[in-house]
Amino acid sequence: MTTLDETAIRSFVFKQAELWNAGEREAFFALYRSLSPAGLTLEYVGKQSLSGDAAWAGMDHMWATYRDQVRLQLVECIVNGSDAAGYYRNRWHGPQTLSSGIEIYSFRDGALHVRIFH
């Protein structure tokens, strides 16, 4: 498997936020699939971890539930080796207008492990 360099990882972090905000579901999922051919794991810190088909179902649920309610503002992206951290401001429609989140992306051997702090 090819190791991703800092430019490719940084591009992923910015692009996934851009696709989310644009509502481009197919391109968003294609981006994740292209960088996780050996598997995807989502860890909702303090709640649950999902891997394999369950992780993709979790991504689909996240999109269906939250995509129309929140837009992402990527405040900071830090890349170190094969890992990246994104600090986000979530801009909600309705009464709760702003919340923050951190997502950590770890790229290893063709797999992507995402830790989500929201």
The predicted-structure confidence for 27-53, as pLDDT tens digits, reads as follows 999 999 999 999 999 999 999 999 999
| Sign, CA torsion 5/108/110/28 | negative
pLDDT at 97: 84
The predicted-structure confidence for 69-112, as pLDDT tens digits, reads as follows 999 999 999 999 999 999 999 998 876 688 899 999 999 999 99
* Residue 82 and residue 3 in contact, taking contact as beta carbons nearer than 8 Å: yes
Which amino acid is located at 20 in the chain? W
Q: How many angstroms separate the CA atoms of 56 and 89, rounded? A: 24
pLDDT at 3: 75
Average pLDDT over residues 50-57: 97
pLDDT at 118: 85
Over 60: is that where the pLDDT of 2 sits?
Answer: no
For the chain, which domains are there? Answer: 6-117 (3.10.450.50)
**pTM check: above 0.85:** yes
pLDDT at 98: 86
Which amino acid is located at 30 in the chain? A
